[in-house]
Amino acid sequence: MATLQERFAALVPEMRKRVGAVQKELGDKVISGVTVKQAYGGMRGVKGMICDTSVVEPDKGLIIRGYPLLEIKDLWPEEIFYLLLTGEKPDKEATEALQMDLAKRSYVPEYVWDVLQSMPPDSHPMCMLDTAILVMERESAFRAWYDKGMKREDYWIPMLEDALRLLGVLPVIAAGLYRIRFGKGDPIDYMPNLDWGANFARMLGLPDPTGDFAKLMRLYLNFHSDHEGGNVSANTCHTVGSALSDAFYAVSAGLNGLAGPLHGLANQECLNWILEVMERFGGVPSEEALRDFAFETLRSGKVVPGYGHAVLRVTDPRFAGFNEFGKQYLPNDPVFQTVDLVFQVVPKVLKEFSDERVKAGKNPIANVWPNVDAGSGALLYHFGLTEFPYYTVLFSVSRAMGMLSQLVINRAQGTAITRPKSVSTEWVKQQAG
């Protein structure tokens, strides 16, 4: 089978033709409207951008290139990247070629380690990751080609180069910054004969005698790879990239959004909440105690992290997949057992609380079910990755696959610069009133 670069190159003309034909035939059709509430409410539900890598169905969750996530949970993350970019699952030969390619690009320049070493010791790991990506911008092939002068139709070529360079280097930087930030020793080198996920697990330097941690990392990197185009990180990356900023700028910007507690940082908040529960009750709590604790969180004006979603209206399949992994590999772990109990108790609590909110004239909680962040931390914790401020970095390495594939596709399709129209409150009063 063709390498990723060859296959993508072969698909570009067809992709352009399809997108061109859709715009020509259907360009004037209306696909969405916007209410005043939506304009103030984060554009929730407004259909205003295109993303072909994946869709999130409210009642099904993530579907990557037509495959519901749990049907492709055994694909390795690099296979997912191939799928995201081309819409096709790679065969063994294409996967191995991609693995070799990533290995070749895994070299971290010394100045990146110098920058990370010199950051204050209380720097958040996400700030360290995003800084490292940004200082590598000088390497951008896209910027170099652009500065020399390049045809629009070639934009995707150096963009794909940058994407592969970033994916090669990201696990090394992410694992290295873990070791620097948490005093674990020097960064560990990439091993060219190991797959991308197992490499990441190995470079973190945690003991893994059974190989189960590597299995978890492959699953983790698979599950977080993409979540269509409108979420904060993907949308930010898309917007920055649409100005023809290169992949280093765009991905670093997107990940700055992932670092927010309502988005990717929720996974660190989730484990924090679980450990608080366990500390309060001296271990796995009773259902009654957990219920009281959840109400206490909600009544103090906080959210229960890991529950709710802007799009999903069912249990996130990514949570279901992690829960299944936990049941298979760590059923007796008390932190996992608490996560599982929270899953039994919290949706009912949120439903009751939502009803109270509605009676008080507030918005209901639209989704009381767990999202991806509710359970992943407990699994990482079990394998000795206990530094939860680090968790969003793992999420980032994976999500970079989605952001980068969207960037490359957008450059191939010649997607326009993003520029929605904003209006003032005065305008709304006059026009809508």
Using the rule CB under 6 A, give the single segment among 53-61, 299-307, 402-410, 419-427 that binds ligand HAX. 299-307
Which is catalytic among the residues 263, 316, 340, 382?
263
Using the rule CB under 6 A, give the single segment among 23-31, 88-96, 122-130, 258-266 that binds ligand HAX. 258-266
Q: Closer CB to ligand HAX, residue 61 or residue 264?
A: 264
Binder to ligand HAX among 309, 318, 382, 411 (CB under 6 A)? Answer: 309
| Cα–Cα dist 377/333, whole Å | 13
CA atoms within 13 A on the CB side of 205: 16
Round the CA-based radius of gyration of the chain to a whole number and report it: 22
Q: Closer CB to ligand HAX, residue 353 or residue 383?
A: 353
Q: Build a one-symbol-per-residue string for 175-214: x at contacts with ligand HAX by CB under 6 A, - elsewhere.
A: ----------------------------------------
| Shortest CB 342 distance to ligand HAX, Å | 11
Should residue 303 be labelled a site residue for ligand HAX when binding is judged by CB under 6 A? yes
Total of chain residues touching ligand HAX, rule CB under 6 A: 23
Which residues are CB-contacts of 26 (< 8 A; sequence separation ≥ 6)? none
Structure tokens at 3: 């390498």
Should residue 298 be labelled a site residue for ligand HAX when binding is judged by CB under 6 A? yes
Which is catalytic among the residues 309, 316, 340, 382?
309
| Cα–Cα dist 190/197, whole Å | 11
Using the rule CB under 6 A, give the single segment among 15-23, 57-65, 114-122, 263-271 that binds ligand HAX. 263-271
- Phi and psi based region of residue 319 (left: phi greater than 0; alpha: psi -120 to 50; beta: remaining): alpha
Should residue 363 be labelled a site residue for ligand HAX when binding is judged by CB under 6 A? yes
Quick check: is 263 catalytic? yes
Which residues are CB-contacts of 256 (< 8 A; sequence separation ≥ 6)? 126, 130, 236
Q: What is the DSSP string of 95-143?
A: HHHHHHHHHHT-PPPHHHHHHHHHS-TT--HHHHHHHHHHHGGGG-HHH
Should residue 307 be labelled a site residue for ligand HAX when binding is judged by CB under 6 A? yes
| Cα–Cα dist 46/62, whole Å | 18
Should residue 378 be labelled a site residue for ligand HAX when binding is judged by CB under 6 A? no
Should residue 228 be labelled a site residue for ligand HAX when binding is judged by CB under 6 A? no
| Shortest CB 120 distance to ligand HAX, Å | 26
| Shortest CB 76 distance to ligand HAX, Å | 22
Binder to ligand HAX among 219, 310, 394, 401 (CB under 6 A)? Answer: 310
Q: Closer CB to ligand HAX, residue 6 or residue 356?
A: 356
Phi, psi dihedral angles at 141 (to 5 degrees): -70, -35
User: Which amino acid is located at 64 in the chain?
Assistant: I
Three-state DSSP at 155 gives coil
Dihedral sign computed on CA atoms, order 82, 107, 139, 144 = negative
Q: Are 285 and 338 in contact (CB under 8 A)?
A: yes
| Cα–Cα dist 228/48, whole Å | 13
| Cα–Cα dist 103/190, whole Å | 7
Should residue 305 be labelled a site residue for ligand HAX when binding is judged by CB under 6 A? yes
| Cα–Cα dist 156/159, whole Å | 5
Which residues are identified as catalytic?
Answer: 263, 309, 373
Residues forming the site for ligand HAX (CB under 6 A):
44, 231, 262-264, 266, 298, 303-310, 362-363, 365-367, 371-373
